[in-house]
Structure 1
Amino acid sequence: MATELTPPGADPTRIHNIGYRKYEGQRLGRSYARRSLYSQSLRGAFGLGRSAKSKVLPMILFAVMCLPAGIIVAVAVATKMKDLPLEYTRYAIVTQAIIGLFLAAQAPQSVSRDLRFKTVPLYFSRPIERADYVLAKYAAMASALFFLTAVPVVILYIGSLLAELDFGTQTKGFAQGMVSVALLSVLFAGLGLVMAALTPRRGFGVAAVIALLTISYGAVSTVQAIAFDQGAEGAISWLGLFSPITLIDGVQTAFLGAASAFPGGQGPGTGAGVVYLLVVLALIAGSYAVLMRRYRKVGL
């Protein structure tokens, strides 16, 4: 075997050019990374860009969410009703179980996988910071919930126009319904992501979200019914502060002219409604703060 020998006194150090080239393309920066993460998370909430199996549940829930609106529209057009049997602001309250299932399924999918497989530090190794990650995930989940809840409201509105109902009344109700579902989407997204981010186990995240929404609403509704039976109507409004869905009910009753789902239809007045609104805003801000604190640790 021939061996190349280095001449005496020669420098044995050699530089080999193996063909690596310096990146000369456009550097898109944090804003592009944030938008990409938002888009990816929003698509993932409906299973887009993932396996066919991942699309089944969110698409079924979306179809089930829209089905009652389609039936209401068909009946209103066929029977020439003078008004819709269900108010725009009431639709999300009535279908809250579907919204809760969607959030319970998709919030852990959005954040628990990154925690479980420890990919969060990889995000932060790019030109993206903790605030970008939290903001993109929060905005994506809120957008997914808004799409889920707003489309049925749009169907109701289109149906009311086809049924030739009063344009002004229906447009006002439609606007109130859109404000209601927007507020619900932001509140539920924050609470759902906080519950999901507490554990890397998706199953635990699903259970935590369902428990938060279902148990709190069941407990509040039960105590409100007891208060109504005992003649303590004044306590009913304040009890609604302890459940996410009753918070939304109280805000839209106080400020959007919606009919309350509380026992006896006794929703909060304007004074109590201000408290409801402040609690909703505090929960939204608190959810964001908790997520920021959570990712301060896992991002290291």
Structure 2
Amino acid sequence: MSDPSVIHDIGYQRYAGPRLGRGAVFGALYVHGLRAAFGLGRSAKAKIFPWLAVGIVSLVAVIIAAVRSQIGVLPLDYQQFADTLSWLIIFFVAIVAPELVSRDLRAGVLPLYFSRPLRAFDYVAAKVAALVTAAWLLLAGPQFIIFLGGAFTTKTGFRGVLDELGDLLPGWGYSLIWAVLFAAIALLVASLTGKRAFAAGGIVAVFLMTTPVVGVLAFLDTNNSQELAGLASPMTLVSGVGSWLLPGPGTGIDVGRFGPVYLIELVTVVATCLLLLLTRYRKVASL
């Protein structure tokens, strides 16, 4: 039997390498979140829906590009493409947001995260950035496919490519608006429960249950009711901002002179969701 008073050297050594700090932790969380959004590094089951969504939007983009090459007219422009496929973004964030935050709540790993040089702001920012990037890529990638189709079939040479690029960049900006608003709302709802099914259902409910309200308000016989009705739903809110910032035929909804009101509400909704999300995790970090 060994003497308990004897100290044995079992080879433990102090870490003498670089200490990367908060920035590296933020980067690791962001990359992990982005990979998780598309099921990378996860089971085959976790990859089914994200890549099914990618396949659907990519197929639509290929069809649009093919039709354009035949008839010479773009069936859906870049803004209309985002509007048309916004329903898919709802289900995408409803599935991905619980994967990013609800799993951490259920597994009880947040105290481990916050025991490191990681603040609640870093955690929230990394999760938001990951979901915004994933949702934006879901729209921006197919939009780039449409751009390539237009660039390779243009009849005006380099000038036509530049014109097409001038259409693509606002479309990417519009897709970013969709991604930011949807990600902010989805993560806030998902952060309220550790059960992924409840979180996903709550996210879908927030988006879909507000849509009929727009229709009801639009039929009210009051001044400017139709132009202001879109403020009642996140989906029509983004469309209203798009029709004001990027006016064009068949783009967005009719907001009349209330475009700035739509933009103010959108910024307010995003800021409120992010502040509530930060408050939620600061409370968790303090436990």
- Structure 1-normalised TM-score? 0.88
Choose the corresponding residue for 1:201, options 187, 195, 217: 195
Aligned mates of 1:199, 1:165 — CA distance in 2: 54
Choose the corresponding residue for 2:8, options 16, 31, 37: 16
Read off the aligned partner of 2:190 and give its amino acid letter.
Answer: A
Deviation readout 1:58-104 (Å, 9 max, x if unpaired): 00011111211111111111x232x2011211111111221111111
Deviation readout 1:125-183 (Å, 9 max, x if unpaired): 11111111000000000000010011111111111223326625533321221110011
The structure that has the greater radius of gyration is 1
Aligned mates of 1:216, 1:68 — CA distance in 2: 27
2:240 matched to 1:250?
A: yes
Superposition map of 1:26-175 within 5 A: 26-77=18-69, 79-81=70-72, 83-164=73-154, 167=160, 169-175=163-169
Q: Per the alignment, do residues 123 and 148 of structure 1 end up closer, same or farther by CA in structure 2, a change over 3 Å counting?
A: same
Aligned mates of 1:291, 1:198 — CA distance in 2: 9
Between the two proteins, what is the percent identity of the paired residues? 37
CA contact (8 A) 1:252 1:258 kept: no
Aligned mates of 1:129, 1:182 — CA distance in 2: 26
Partner of 2:205: 211
Note the aligned Cα RMSD (angstroms).
2.1
Aligned mates of 2:130, 2:207 — CA distance in 1: 20
Aligned mates of 1:261, 1:217 — CA distance in 2: 18
Deviation at 1:260, TM superposition (A): 5.3
Aligned mates of 2:223, 2:142 — CA distance in 1: 33
CA contact (8 A) 1:90 1:258 kept: no
Partner of 2:214: 220
Choose the corresponding residue for 1:179, options 173, 198, 219: 173
CA contact (8 A) 1:100 1:210 kept: yes
Q: Per the alignment, do residues 132 and 84 of structure 1 end up closer, same or farther by CA in structure 2, a change over 3 Å counting?
A: same
Aligned mates of 2:10, 2:17 — CA distance in 1: 21
2:255 matched to 1:268?
A: yes
2:255 matched to 1:294?
A: no
Choose the corresponding residue for 2:184, options 173, 184, 190: 190
Aligned mates of 1:218, 1:87 — CA distance in 2: 26
Aligned mates of 2:229, 2:82 — CA distance in 1: 20
Aligned mates of 1:287, 1:165 — CA distance in 2: 46
Aligned mates of 1:194, 1:54 — CA distance in 2: 22
Aligned mates of 1:284, 1:197 — CA distance in 2: 15
Partner of 1:9: none
Aligned mates of 1:178, 1:98 — CA distance in 2: 17
CA contact (8 A) 2:94 2:200 kept: yes
Gaps of 5+ in 2: none
Q: Secondary structure at the match of 1:203?
A: helix
Moved more, 158-167 or 136-145: 158-167
Deviation readout 1:101-121 (Å, 9 max, x if unpaired): 111110111100001111111
- Structure 2-normalised TM-score? 0.91
Aligned mates of 1:222, 1:100 — CA distance in 2: 22
